[in-house]
Amino acid sequence: MEMLEKVELIREKCNVSYEEARNALTACNGDVLDAIVMLENEHKVTERMPTVEQREPEAAPEVTYELPEAAAGTGYTANAQAQASPSANSAWRRFCAKCKELWNAGMEMTFVAERKGERVLALPVALVVLGMLLWGATLWLMVLGLFFGLRYRIEGDGRAAQTVNAQTVNDAMDKAADAADNIKESIA
């Protein structure tokens, strides 16, 4: 087996760059197994994404990404980010999954503003939170609304309400409305 074939074998098995595979192979005097063990001990072996050949026949097809032509020849490898921090990708995926879960819960629940028992406004909670993040005046308008007799609550049932703990949020909004009423009474 030639040096290039050994390097490619190590690269394929360990998901490392050509340079790392060659350096490990050279350090281990051409022994492929020792080179793989060395890379594992140095924590350079990263998890490979399954290819079409590696997946089970009944599994759904995997999405693959290819580098754009502009990146060709730049020295950038498709797994460079994964080699830099293998746990960063999984942390990012967990973060995105949690954001998606909260967004879906926010779209299932409704933010309701009432005045004297009459519903004035009803919007998905996710849109209200997005408004607070993108336009800071949203929060101030909500506080101001408390002084004009508005009361806020979240409506929703099932898993979405449990995800956000709607009852705790409603209790906090009731306390804020009561505090606003007390301030109005003390001024009047």
Q: How far apart are CA 173 and CA 18, in angstroms?
A: 59
| pLDDT tens digit sequence for 38-84 | 888 887 777 654 554 554 555 555 655 555 555 555 555 555 444 54
Cα→Cα distances 123→48, 130, 159, 165, 171, Å: 43, 11, 19, 18, 19
The answer, yes or no, to whether residue 31 has pLDDT greater than 60, is yes
The answer, yes or no, to whether residue 162 has pLDDT greater than 70, is no
In this predicted structure, what is the pLDDT of residue 117?
84
Q: Identify which of 3, 6, 11 has the alpha carbon closest to the alpha carbon of residue 78.
A: 11
Q: What percent of the chain shows pLDDT beyond 70?
A: 73
Higher pLDDT, 35 or 84: 35
The answer, yes or no, to whether residue 103 has pLDDT greater than 50, is yes
pTM, two decimals, is 0.44
Q: How far apart are CA 46 and CA 43, in angstroms?
A: 8
What is the mean pLDDT of the segment spanning 84-98?
78
In this predicted structure, what is the pLDDT of residue 82?
47
In this predicted structure, what is the pLDDT of residue 72?
53
- What pLDDT band is residue 142 in, cutting at 50, 70 and 90? confident
- Ordered by where they begin, the domains of the chain are 3-75 (1.10.8), 105-187 (no CATH)
- Average pLDDT score over the chain: 77
